[in-house]
Structure 1
Amino acid sequence: MPKKAKEIWKQVDQYFTDALIAPGDSFNAALDANRKADLPAIDVTPLQGKFLELLVHATGARRVLEIGTLGGYSTLWLAHALPENGIVVTLELDPHHAEVAIGNLEFAGLANKVDLRIGPAAESLTALAQEQNAPFDFIFIDADKASYPEYLQWSIKLSRPGTLIVADNVVRDGKVIDPESPDPHIQGVRHFTELVAAELRLSTTVLQTVGSKGYDGFAISVVLH
C-alpha cells in the first residue's frame, strides 16, 4: 500500500478514536502493559474494540467465547459490554501473555467476568464441549490463522441459532486472494472461507477494514439453525 494512504488511514483512525472513544484508564493501561511486556503489537484498535463491544450489546450476549487472548485488550471490550451475570471465556496458549492479560483484567475490575484458560485452543475447546454448559451467544476468533478452520468447527458446535461468530484478520493485506500463497496463515483463512461458504448453518459476510493497523477485515457469521 502507498505510504501516503497508510498515513491517511492512521490519521482518520485517530480522528474518530478521539471523537468517539471516551478516554479509559484501564484500556490505555492495558495497551501500555502489553507494550512493556513485549507482546506482539497485534491488538485490535480502540475503534475495533468498540465495534466488538457494540456487537455484544446488540446481540444481548451473556456468554462470550474469545479464541486468542493476547494481553486481554479485546477481552476488556468484550467483558465491559456484558451484564453483571455475563462471562467471557477466553483461550490463550502463551502463559506469559495470559499473565499480562490477568493483570490488565484485574486493574480494570473485570476479572470476575472472565474465565481465562491457558493451553492449546484445541484442548480448551474440547474441554468446553465436554462441560456441556450453555452455548455461547457471541464468539470472537483472533488467534493463529492456520487453525481458523478448526476454530470455526468448534465455534459452531459451541453455538446456538442466533450466535454471532466474528473472525478477525481474514483479508491479510489483500493477500487472501492468492490461491498459491505458501503462507499457512493465508491458506488457513482461505480454507476457513471455503468452509463458511459451504456451511448451510451460517450466513456470512466479510467487511474489509483499513486503519492504523493497515488493511484487513472481519468475517461475520450468524448461526441460522
Structure 2
Amino acid sequence: MTGSQLWDDVDFYFSSHLSPDDEVLQAALRDSEAAGLPHVNVTAPQGKFLQLLAEIQDARHILEIGTLGGYSTIWLGRALPSDGRLISLEYDPKHAEVAVRNIARAGLEKVVEVRVGAALESLPQLADENPAPFDLVFIDADKVNNPDYVEWALKLTRTGSLIVLDNVVRGGQVVNSESYDDPSVRGTRAAIEMIAAHPRLTGTALQTVGSKGYDGFALARVLA
C-alpha cells in the first residue's frame, strides 16, 4: 500500500467515525465540483476540527478569509449560536455564488454573510464598521498575502481569540530555499515569522497528512 493510499484510508476511517459528511456537506462538495471550483477545500476531519475549535472558543463571531464553495464555512457556522455571526470573504464571484447556495441549503443564511471582493479591500471596510471582535479567524486564501491577513486578524480580534492559518507546509517547500521565489512560500514564511516575533501572539504549526496530501496549519492565540 502506498503512503498516499494509506493516508486516504486513515482519513476515511477517522471521518466515517468522527466527522461523517451529511447530505448537506456532501451536496456542497458536489455543487462545488460541478461548478468547476478547485479541489482545495478542507477535508471532513479538518472541518470538524475547525468546528470544535469554534465550540471550544464559545465563538459568537467568526471571520473566514477565503470561502471557496462554503464547505469550511458550513462547519464553522454550525458551531455558532442562533444569534452568532460569521463573515466570509471571497475574491471570486463565481465561488461566492456557489457558496451562498450551499450555505442557504445548510440553513445558515441568517448567521453567515459572504462578501465578494479582494480581502485586502474588504478588510478595511469591515474594520470601518467597528464590528464586535472576532473570536476566531480562519485564513485560507491566497498565500502571498498571508502576512497582511494575520495583521488584519490582529486588528479585528480580542485577547484570547484564535487565528488559524491553513496550508502552511506547502508540501514541504516552506523550508526549501530554492522555493523562496514562490510567492506562496514567501507569504507563508513571512506569516509564520510574524507569529513567532509578534508580542501579541503565541502560536505553533502542525504538519498533517491525509486525502489532501502533505500539508499543515498554524494556530495562533492573541495575547493582548
TM-score, structure 1 normalization = 0.97
Q: Which secondary structure state, in structure 1, belongs to the residue aligned with residue 41 of structure 2?
A: coil
Does 123-132 or 17-26 show the bigger shift?
17-26
Deviation at 1:23, TM superposition (A): 4.1
Contact 2:67 2:99 in 1 (8 A): yes
Query: What is the aligned partner in structure 2 of residue 131 from structure 1?
Result: 129
Query: What is the aligned partner in structure 2 of residue 20 from structure 1?
Result: 18
Between the aligned partners of 1:22 and 1:176, the Cα distance in structure 2 is: 31
Report Cα offsets for 1:6-53 as digits up to 9, x if no partner: 111011001111111244111010000000000000000000000000
Query: What is the aligned partner in structure 1 of residue 76 from structure 2?
Result: 78
Structure 2 counterpart of 1:116, from 114, 117, 121? 114
List alignment gaps of at least 5 residues for structure 1: none
Where do residues 29-40 of structure 1 align in structure 2 (5 Å cutoff)? Answer: 29-40=27-38
Query: What is the aligned partner in structure 2 of residue 152 from structure 1?
Result: 150
Contact 2:70 2:100 in 1 (8 A): yes
Query: What is the aligned partner in structure 2 of residue 163 from structure 1?
Result: 161
Q: Which secondary structure state, in structure 1, belongs to the residue aligned with residue 177 of structure 2?
A: coil
Where do residues 88-103 of structure 1 align in structure 2 (5 Å cutoff)? Answer: 88-103=86-101
Query: What is the aligned partner in structure 2 of residue 7 from structure 1?
Result: 5
Contact 1:179 1:187 in 2 (8 A): no
Look up the equivalent residue of 1:203 and give its one-letter code.
T
Contact 2:63 2:86 in 1 (8 A): yes
Look up the equivalent residue of 1:108 and give its one-letter code.
A
Q: Percent identity?
A: 52
Report Cα offsets for 1:56-97 as digits up to 9, x if no partner: 000000000000000000000000111111111000000000
Cα RMSD (Å)? 0.9
Contact 2:37 2:95 in 1 (8 A): yes
Look up the equivalent residue of 2:189 and give its one-letter code.
R
Between the aligned partners of 1:206 and 1:4, the Cα distance in structure 2 is: 26
Deviation at 1:179, TM superposition (A): 3.0
Deviation at 1:125, TM superposition (A): 0.3
Is 1:183 aligned to residue 182 of structure 2? yes
Between the aligned partners of 1:39 and 1:112, the Cα distance in structure 2 is: 25
Does 48-57 or 175-184 show the bigger shift?
175-184
Deviation at 1:197, TM superposition (A): 1.0
Q: Which contiguous aligned blocks of 4+ residues in structure 1 show a shift greater than 2 angstroms?
A: none
Q: Which secondary structure state, in structure 1, belongs to the residue aligned with residue 157 of structure 2?
A: coil
TM-score, structure 2 normalization = 0.98
Query: What is the aligned partner in structure 2 of residue 201 from structure 1?
Result: 200
Contact 2:28 2:71 in 1 (8 A): yes
Contact 2:70 2:102 in 1 (8 A): yes
Contact 2:64 2:137 in 1 (8 A): yes
Look up the equivalent residue of 1:224 and give its one-letter code.
L
Query: What is the aligned partner in structure 1 of residue 211 from structure 2?
Result: 212
Work out the number of aligned pairs and report it. 223
Contact 2:139 2:166 in 1 (8 A): yes
Contact 1:170 1:216 in 2 (8 A): yes
Deviation at 1:115, TM superposition (A): 1.2
